[in-house]
Amino acid sequence: MLEYVERKKKRITVLVSLLLLLLIAIYAGISFGAVSVSFKEIWTILVSSSEGTYEKIVYNLRLPRVIVGLCVGACLAASGALLQGVMRNPLADPGIIGVSSGGGLFAIVTMVIFPQYSYLLPFIAFIGAFLTTILIYLFAWDKGASPVKIILAGVAMNAVLGAIMNGIMVLYSDRVQSVIGWLSGGLNGRSWYHVEIILPYTIIMLLISLFAIKPVNILILGDDSAKLLGQNVELIRMLIILLASFLAGIAVSVAGLIGFVGLVVPHIIRLLIGEDYRFLLPFSIIGGAALVVIADTAARSLFDPIELPVGILLAALGGPFFIILLRRRRMV
Amino acid sequence: MAVLKSEELQFRQGKFQLHDINIEFPEGKMTAIVGPNGSGKSTLLKLFARLLKADNGLVTLDNQLIHKYKRKEYSQKIAMLPQAKEVMPSITVKELVGYGRVPFQRLTGPVSEEDKEIIAWAIRETGLENMADRMVGQLSGGELQRARIAMALAQKTSVLLLDEPTTFLDITHQLELMKILSRINKTYQITVIMVLHELQYAGAYSDNLIVMKRGEIYQTGKPQAILTAQLLKEVYEIDASIKFENNYPVIIPKN
């Protein structure tokens, strides 16, 4: 009885903390930076429609950037959570199904070889990510695709695409400047244009991902148990992996390769509340959104006036934090 | 009621092969499948549970080919307890048992009153009332096995397959488990088909015994009639005497 009550309390505590963190993230993302804007000023700007410098900074620069950050974080965390569930592997993240290498390769080819199409970059990167996932799945398929096979096919695919990417960068070393920033993953200069691109897809895909909650929960019991409960395990796993690829592809399309979020956010939430996806998935979405915006705010404030790509900061600070967390909890 | 049977069933996996398996499991009875490691017991069970598909031959449930049933429909007719290898998620006993209702549920929507009643019934039948809200990770081996049986019971099937349900349990919990299975079988006439390693339980608790050797059925019949010294020698390749005391086979190896 006790554990049951405690678990409920813990879920509520974690949810409230995550929501608070999200609010702080949004506030900090709008307020902090080269020019600080107070809470009162933000409020005035949001409810009125005057046209001062602050208004321009808040409305044209920071607000869209925060919204893009929220979408990117939410999509990456949801993608990672779903993948870890259907693969029953805590190391699964969007990179493993080729989202990073596929999106990256297509983006590099566009930026370096066909720069005239750079305005289509988000769509091209997304298509690269999604196609690579499908290819990996086809390679892994043999009367079904077990998680281990998918992961191995993913590793092989990532190696090949990574080699091609490096090859292109060596051959076109004079043009790689723009590529490096993109590969590090950043939100610099993201505007309402990017919001318009990803917000609708983010909302639709996150809503669809809620329908994956029950199937993932059943799959966690193991393939045999899920089959014995009348589930079409192969179909469910394929659909959820495609959904996860789509979600991560959305993030890659506008923010480049931001690692770490998809791997670690679901992990931290799992350590806190367990792996019931009714809670794990929505909590991860909130946590991922908050984390990316907070990290991005830090990335552009810490070394002012130089802006770090948020992907670098996330990996550099997040990695050690994650190790500490794992060691303290003594569980993986 | 359900009649589960196979005709000329064949299955090959690498070097391993099951040949010409013809079985009809007696309805509402306890059947135990025994045999040495690698004789094909678990494979046979998986073929009947549709976890594997036969290469040749017919497997039917109520005279319909088992692969003609829809997935969920089949899960409403046959439940199976796989070997306890998989790591359990951090959920409560009640939640675990609740998964047994999945074949009756849609993708979304609340748990129906009927589901709740059946879950409570399954928990009572396995004596887990006091542990319904405990996390499965904190259960002992015996309790966990009972919880898994409760989940299978919640599927409300007329056939229950069990793959080595007593392995890894101590004698207290093995006995407890066999008693629960026997009671479920007698009270609800659920056909119980179990793969067992322990000949004592197979002999004492089954109405019907299937002995397998190298992918074939060696013999079928009432335990007291077929468990003989000759069978031990031919199937298990041991020299031992065997006699029954209070229904239990007592096996004494000779040096």
State whether B94 and B57 are in the same domain: no
On average, the pLDDT of chain B sits at 92
pLDDT in tens, A94-110: 988 888 889 989 988 99
State whether B64 and B99 are in the same domain: no
State whether B148 and B163 are in the same domain: no
Is position B66 within any domain?
Answer: yes
CB B135 within 8 A of CB A273: no
State whether B165 and B60 are in the same domain: yes
Check CB contact of B172 with chain A, cutoff 8 Å.
no
User: A47 pLDDT exceeds 80?
Assistant: no
Which segment of A148-162, A198-212, B79-93 scores lowest on mean pLDDT? B79-93
User: A159 pLDDT exceeds 80?
Assistant: yes
Chain A partners of B135 at a C-beta cutoff of 8 Å? 3-4, 7
Position A329 confidence tier, pLDDT thresholds 50, 70, 90? low
Is position B254 within any domain?
Answer: no
Nearest residue, CB atoms, A274 vs list B49, B76, B90: B90
State whether B179 and B149 are in the same domain: no
Is position B143 within any domain?
Answer: yes
pTM of the entire predicted model: 0.90
Count the domains in chain B: 2
Q: Do B82 and A224 touch (CB under 8 A)?
A: yes
Is position B234 within any domain?
Answer: no
Chain B partners of A225 at a C-beta cutoff of 8 Å? 82, 86, 99
pLDDT of residue B1: 59
Q: For residues A133 and A102, what is the distance between their CA atoms, to the nearest angstrom?
A: 8
**Count of A-B CB contacts under 8 Å:** 69
Is position B187 within any domain?
Answer: yes
State whether B166 and B71 are in the same domain: yes
pLDDT in tens, A212-251: 999 999 999 999 999 999 999 999 999 999 999 999 999 9
In the block, which residue shows the tokens 């589901």?
B115
pLDDT of residue B10: 93
pLDDT of residue A176: 81
- Mean pLDDT, residues A70-90: 93
Can you give the pLDDT of all 255 residues of chain B as single tens digits? 578 999 999 999 888 899 889 999 999 999 999 999 989 999 999 999 999 999 999 999 999 999 999 999 999 999 999 987 777 778 899 999 999 999 999 887 788 999 999 999 999 999 999 999 998 888 888 999 999 999 999 999 999 999 999 988 999 999 999 999 999 999 999 999 999 999 999 999 999 999 999 999 999 999 999 999 999 999 999 999 999 998 899 999 987
Is position B152 within any domain?
Answer: yes
| Helix spans in chain B (H) | 41-48, 71-75, 93-98, 113-125, 141-153, 171-188, 199-205, 223-226, 229-231
pLDDT of residue A332: 41
Across B27-113, the runs of DSSP E, i.e. the strands, are 30-34, 56-61, 64-65, 78-81
**Domain topology for A2-329:** ABC transporter involved in vitamin B12 uptake, BtuC (1.10.3470)
Domain ranges in chain A are: 2-329
pLDDT of residue A1: 46
Q: Last residue of some domain: B131, B156, B181?
A: B156
Please tell me which residue of chain A has the smallest CA distance to B110. A214
Chain B partners of A228 at a C-beta cutoff of 8 Å? 49, 51, 75, 79-80, 82
Which domain, by its residues, includes B146? 86-156
- Alpha carbon dihedral A201, A203, A208, A214, in 10-degree steps, equals 140
Check CB contact of A222 with chain B, cutoff 8 Å.
yes
B residues 210..239 contacting A (CB < 8 A): none
State whether B212 and B177 are in the same domain: yes
Minimum distance, in Å, between the CA of residue B134 and any CA atom of chain A = 6
State whether B13 and B66 are in the same domain: yes
